[in-house]
Structure 1
Amino acid sequence: MSVRVQSEPFDMGEELQAFTAAHSHSGAVVTFSGLVRDEGGTLSRMEIEHYPGMTEKALTSIRNEALTRFALDGAGIIHRFGTLVPGDQIMMVVTAARHRADAFAAAEFLMDYLKSRAPFWKKEFGSDGEGWVEARTEDDVALNRW
């Protein structure tokens, strides 16, 4: 797995099994899966938009930066777009390294960059109306540590 942007759901277990098999020489594999959350209990759906080509290029750049910064054997990103409902998987990050510290740090690095720099636009629809998801200060603060 390298970088995939897709509308269809993915099976995290299958993805992890294939990635782990391809990196069986690594000592650590770290995964993270992001889900659509409904903090206030009013969300009915979220629509995620992106520009094909531009998005894949940006995610590949983020992944390549992680491979450069950390002692990784591999890294992968899957990110979905389209209409999603609470509980749906939005994305998955996976990293493999000889040692857990690099695998964990790289996964956090990827998540921080995906959260604040990946070119996706999210619109939420709920019982209290609809609106675009705004950038959050805490996401930029998390990014600044890198």
Structure 2
Amino acid sequence: MHVRVQTEDFDLSTEVRKLREGNPTIGAVVSFLGLVRDLNDGQTVSAMELEHYPVMTEKALEDISVQAAARWSVIDSLIIHRVGPLLPLDQIVLVVVASKHRGDAFSACEFMMDYLKTQAPFWKKEQTETGARWVDARESDESALQKWTPPSS
């Protein structure tokens, strides 16, 4: 399981190739690539800045990877999350999951993204036509997370 928090951009093809390189047991690779949009909540977004606490953030991303591997048959995974200033069309996050079968890879990747959107300690500030604003997790992100949480007894 690999985790990187960085300011630099990344190349999707290179990252997927490196993850599956030399491992003939991998039968499925699923990835999610998140991008900066130019519109959010009805306002034009000209820029975004992501802040974090390095040690805390990396630990949270590692925990997400470990939880996914405990639930599904994951051979390997990668989370790359960018921080710092970003512009519309920039890549923000990459999650890649390798497994023997597609079902495990799809489920683990979706789980990891749902946890990233709600549990990872990132703070997002957008620049809009009305000024800067901090962005909270969406209600839909919180709802998506609930499908992975067992019901209370």
TM-score (norm 1): 0.95
- 2:98 maps to 96
Query: Unaligned stretches of 5+ in structure 2?
Result: 149-153
Farther-moved stretch of structure 1 (64-73 vs 16-25): 16-25
- 1:64 maps to 66
Query: Unaligned stretches of 5+ in structure 1?
Result: none
TM-score (norm 2): 0.91
- 2:129 maps to 127
Aligned counterparts of 1:85 and 1:132: Cα–Cα separation in 2:
16
- Tell me by how many angstroms 1:22 deviates: 4.6
Runs of at least 4 residues off by over 3 Å: none
- Tell me by how many angstroms 1:17 deviates: 1.0
Q: Give the root-mean-square deviation of aligned CA atoms.
A: 1.2
1:34-113 equivalences in 2 (<5 Å):
34-39=34-39, 40=42, 42-113=44-115
What is the letter of the counterpart of residue 145 of structure 1? K
- Tell me by how many angstroms 1:41 deviates: 6.4
- Tell me by how many angstroms 1:12 deviates: 1.2
User: Cα deviations across residues 88-138 of structure 1 (Å, max 9, x unaligned)?
Assistant: 000100001111000000000000000011100000002222100022111
User: Cα deviations across residues 40-80 of structure 1 (Å, max 9, x unaligned)?
Assistant: 46211000000011100010001100011101111110000
- 1:6 maps to 6
Aligned counterparts of 2:112 and 2:22: Cα–Cα separation in 1:
20
User: Cα deviations across residues 10-44 of structure 1 (Å, max 9, x unaligned)?
Assistant: 11111111112154321100011000012246211
Aligned counterparts of 2:79 and 2:127: Cα–Cα separation in 1:
26
Decide whether the 8 Å contact of 2:49 with 2:86 is kept in 1: yes
